[in-house]
């Protein structure tokens, strides 16, 4: 990952040139004039052309490719696996620590809603190839954050273009407070997924057509070819009976449906191809398939391996985000007057144990290992409210435990006493025996 930070030293962020975006009419004075994405009716030839334009070393044109990315994000499976990877990152809270303790001066800023959106955009650099963001200070003293639309950014020449079709623009250095985060792949992971979303969309369309043709029975109407009135009545009857395939023909003609001998016209072919497309997208985004889909051949051991691989990917994403925060955000906060010297952003380790698992662990530690555990700590970890008369109840519980213990030990003590009594000989009444 390459990280770039572009800031003016003499100009404060409050007085800086702020990037804004809007439409051609509604916000003509904006820095960037946005255009709606061109979706649908996409094929592999358009994909290849978009890849070539994006990889042009002199004048990269990525708008068409990112329009295709926007179309791919409408796929339910695609957005599902991407959100799964995002959730693995966002579910772990982040704090700023200094000298081993949280620093509330910085943490009050990152608890704002913008910070969560920023983390998601940082991770999106892996999907789209890069993320360019600008930070400014709002009137209330809180951080304001804007993710620059990627279609208006030339990451190779480091330009921000007013129109997405421009071949030149304003250099990054003209805008202070910029952070440029580059993913591991120049065009992002979505470039690997696009061929599969295109094939999937075409396959689903063919599948729907197949269902319309063969999913419902075909109604067969025959009429006397010499009777025109009979033909008209037949047409009216067919139209009055709703939708569905209809074969209207003169008496004596027929329609034959011929299936291929290898059954390629069956619905299973479409289902299998859609499954292959989904699996390839899962591999590209998550690195596996068994954590998102059931498999007839998958075993629990194999699923565990895939889960471990996914957790390793999540750990890599956390490192990716921490690099952006600790190498770039600390400088941004410092320029805003927020002291970050000597501190760092860290992921707070969460507690993955359930309450039942904690209860079993406490029972093992106290009853079998004899380890002393503070009762207040147990109440806190198990989420149980401590009773107001805790001292009295604790004393009664101890007394009851002693009573039960005494009751259980009485039979053993009687047996031990009887054995001792039978072992020793009773002393003679008139003195020692003469042995």
Residue 165 and residue 34 share a domain: yes
Residue 66 and residue 182 share a domain: yes
Q: List strand residue ranges (DSSP E) for 91-245, in order.
A: 94-98, 101-102, 130-137, 143-147, 153-154, 159-160, 170-171, 178-182, 219-223
Q: Does some domain include residue 76?
A: yes
* Residue 277: band (very low, low, confident or very high) from pLDDT cuts 50, 70, 90: very high
Residues of the chain with pLDDT > 70, as a percent, come to 78
> What is the C-alpha R_g of the chain?
37
Measuring CA to CA, which residue among 68, 72, 150, 137 is closest to residue 109? 137
* Residue 429: band (very low, low, confident or very high) from pLDDT cuts 50, 70, 90: low
Q: Does some domain include residue 78?
A: yes
Residue 291 and residue 398 share a domain: no
Residue 67 and residue 31 share a domain: yes
Q: What is the pLDDT of residue 79?
A: 95
pLDDT: is 380 or 244 the higher one? 380
- Chain length of the chain: 435
Distance CA(69)–CA(190), nearest Å, equals 7
Measuring CA to CA, which residue among 350, 349, 332 is closest to residue 115? 332
Please say if the pLDDT value at position 354 is more than 80.
no
Domain count, the chain: 3
Residue 121 and residue 202 share a domain: no
Q: Phi and psi for 175 in degrees, rounded to 5?
A: -115, 115
Which of 35-39, 73-77, 374-378 is predicted least confidently? 374-378
Which residue among 281, 299, 317 closes a domain? 299
Please say if the pLDDT value at position 139 is more than 70.
yes
* Residue 303: band (very low, low, confident or very high) from pLDDT cuts 50, 70, 90: low
Q: Does some domain include residue 154?
A: yes
Angle CA 109–112–114, to nearest 5: 105
283 close to 277: Cβ distance less than 8 angstroms: no
CA 253 to chain centre: 58
Q: What is the pLDDT of residue 216?
A: 66
Residue 56: CA atoms inside 13 Å, Cβ hemisphere, count? 15
Residue 165 and residue 67 share a domain: yes
Please say if the pLDDT value at position 44 is more than 50.
yes
* Global model pTM greater than 0.85: no
182 close to 125: Cβ distance less than 8 angstroms: yes
Report the relative pairing of strands 246-250 and 219-223 from DSSP bridges. parallel
Distance CA(201)–CA(134), nearest Å, equals 36
Report the relative pairing of strands 32-33 and 21-22 from DSSP bridges. parallel
CA 20 to chain centre: 29
Residue 128 and residue 16 share a domain: yes
Q: Does some domain include residue 433?
A: no
Residue 313 and residue 295 share a domain: no
Q: What is the pLDDT of residue 419?
A: 60
Please say if the pLDDT value at position 433 is more than 60.
no
pLDDT: is 355 or 330 the higher one? 330
Give the domain range for residue 226: 193-299
* Residue 51: band (very low, low, confident or very high) from pLDDT cuts 50, 70, 90: very high
pLDDT mean across residues, the chain: 81
Q: Does some domain include residue 219?
A: yes
DSSP letter at 259 equals -
Residue 359 and residue 343 share a domain: no
Residue with tokens 């982040």, as numbered in its chain: 94
Q: Does some domain include residue 104?
A: yes
Residue 212: CA atoms inside 13 Å, Cβ hemisphere, count? 7
**Largest interatomic CA distance in the chain:** 145
């Amino acid at each position: 990952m390459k990280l770039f930070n572009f800031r003016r030293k003499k100009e404060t962020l409050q007085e800086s040139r702020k990037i804004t975006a809007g439409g051609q009419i509604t916000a003509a004075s904006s820095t960037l004039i946005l255009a709606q994405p061109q979706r649908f009716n996409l094929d592999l030839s358009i994909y290849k052309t978009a890849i070539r334009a994006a990889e042009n070393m002199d004048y990269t044109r990525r708008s068409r490719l990112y329009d295709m990315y926007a179309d791919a994000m409408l796929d339910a499976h695609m957005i599902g696996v991407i959100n799964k990877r995002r959730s693995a990152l966002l579910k772990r809270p982040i704090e700023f620590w200094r000298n081993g303790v949280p620093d509330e001066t910085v943490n009050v800023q990152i608890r704002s809603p913008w910070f969560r959106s920023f983390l998601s955009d940082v991770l999106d650099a892996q999907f789209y190839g890069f993320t360019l963001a600008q930070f400014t200070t709002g009137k209330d003293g809180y951080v304001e954050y804007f993710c620059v639309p990627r279609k208006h950014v030339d990451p190779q020449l480091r330009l921000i273009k007013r129109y997405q079709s421009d071949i030149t623009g304003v250099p990054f250095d003209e805008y202070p407070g910029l952070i440029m985060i580059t993913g591991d792949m120049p065009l992002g992971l979505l470039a690997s997924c696009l061929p599969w979303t295109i094939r999937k969309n075409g396959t689903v369309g063919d599948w729907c057509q197949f269902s319309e043709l063969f999913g419902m029975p075909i109604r067969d109407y025959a009429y006397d070819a010499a009777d025109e009135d009979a033909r008209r009545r037949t047409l009216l009857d067919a139209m009055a009976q709703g939708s569905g395939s209809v074969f209207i023909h003169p008496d004596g003609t027929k329609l034959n449906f011929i299936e291929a001998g290898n059954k390629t016209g069956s619905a299973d072919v479409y289902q299998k191809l859609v499954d292959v497309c989904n699996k390839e997208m899962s591999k590209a985004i998550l690195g596996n398939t068994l954590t998102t889909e059931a498999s007839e051949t998958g075993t629990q051991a194999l699923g565990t391996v895939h889960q471990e691989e996914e957790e390793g990917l999540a750990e890599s994403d956390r490192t990716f985000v921490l690099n952006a925060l600790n190498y770039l955000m600390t400088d941004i906060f410092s320029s805003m007057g927020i002291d970050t010297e000597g501190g760092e952003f860290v992921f707070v380790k969460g507690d993955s144990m359930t309450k039942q698992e904690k209860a079993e662990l406490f029972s093992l530690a106290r009853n079998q290992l004899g380890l002393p555990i503070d009762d207040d700590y147990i109440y806190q970890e198990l989420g149980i409210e401590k009773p107001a008369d805790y001292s009295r109840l604790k004393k009664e519980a101890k007394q009851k435990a002693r009573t039960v213990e005494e009751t259980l030990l009485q039979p053993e003590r009687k047996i031990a006493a009887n054995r001792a009594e039978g072992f020793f000989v009773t002393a003679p009444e008139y003195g020692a025996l003469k042995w």
